[in-house]
């Protein structure tokens, strides 16, 4: 059995659970996906499946190598490809369809995506530095402070937390609860927020 699916973030809303409690959820379009390539532990060292997300218009230009992969699987080319794990011994083959019904309400999954880009940010926002006194005349409010001694080692160590580009990082959220499954519209309602903005590509994995 395929242990995951590709999805696109739709947005956030609110739903009521069975006890009447209001829950903030993220709506994602999970699939439909098709299996393009099957990887096995014997040939590739791990059990996985390469999925293609069937959403939107098909790609206009596809390289011959990619065309061959889709032709071998017997499915039309897709714009989005991603790899998800497969349970050992599962009879998953190219051309199979993967839907959001592999998940159930109440199940806990992992969500992998790319965080929003924040641009160039200072050390206070990027690394949560405390900053200096806010009083008048301190002249040290949001500066990062010293970044290295001058006499020894007379250099700045690599990895020193400083201002720089923030966001656009691969982010994994664990223990995300599936609140609701809408199989008719291929929608999943996940509790809380997930990485990325609207239409962001996500990978949902069991466990």
Give CA separation, 201 vs 30, 49, 113, in Å: 10, 17, 6
The conformation of residue 87, written as its DSSP 8-state character, comes to: -
CB 198 within 8 A of CB 27: no
pTM, two decimal places:
0.82
Contacts of 146 (CB under 8 A, 6+ apart): none
| Backbone φ, ψ for residue 126 (5° rounding) | -75, -40
CB 4 within 8 A of CB 204: yes
Alpha-carbon distance of 73 to 157, in angstroms, equals: 50
Alpha-carbon distance of 16 to 26, in angstroms, equals: 13
Give CA separation, 38 vs 81, 126, 204, 205, 206, in Å: 13, 40, 18, 17, 18
Alpha-carbon distance of 91 to 188, in angstroms, equals: 25
Q: Tens of pLDDT along the chain (207 residues)?
A: 888 899 999 999 999 988 888 999 999 998 798 888 888 888 888 888 889 888 777 777 888 887 888 888 788 888 888 898 888 777 888 888 888 888 998 899 999 999 999 999 999 999 999 989 999 999 999 999 888 888 888 899 999 999 999 999 999 999 999 999 988 899 999 999 999 999 999 999 987
CB 54 within 8 A of CB 77: no
pLDDT of residue 174: 94
Alpha-carbon distance of 111 to 206, in angstroms, equals: 9
């Amino acid at each position: 059995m395929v242990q995951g699916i590709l999805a696109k973030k739709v947005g956030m809303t609110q739903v009521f659970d069975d006890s009447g409690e209001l829950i903030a959820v993220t709506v994602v379009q999970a699939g439909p996906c098709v299996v393009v390539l099957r990887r096995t532990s014997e040939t590739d060292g791990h059990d996985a499946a390469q999925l293609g997300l069937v959403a939107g218009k098909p790609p206009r230009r596809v390289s011959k190598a990619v065309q061959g992969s889709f032709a071998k699987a017997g499915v039309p080319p897709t714009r989005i490809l991603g790899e998800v794990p497969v349970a050992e011994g599962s009879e998953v083959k190219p051309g199979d369809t993967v839907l959001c019904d592999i998940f159930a309400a109440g199940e806990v999954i992992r969500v992998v995506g790319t965080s929003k880009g924040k641009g160039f940010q200072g050390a206070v926002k990027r690394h949560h530095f405390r900053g200096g006194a806010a009083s008048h005349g301190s002249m040290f409010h949001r500066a990062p402070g010293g970044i290295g001694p001058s006499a020894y080692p007379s250099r700045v160590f690599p990895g020193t937390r400083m201002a720089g580009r923030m966001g656009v990082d691969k982010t994994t959220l664990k223990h995300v609860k599936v609140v609701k499954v809408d199989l008719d519209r291929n929608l999943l309602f996940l509790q809380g927020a997930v990485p990325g903005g609207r239409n962001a590509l996500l990978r949902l994995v069991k466990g």
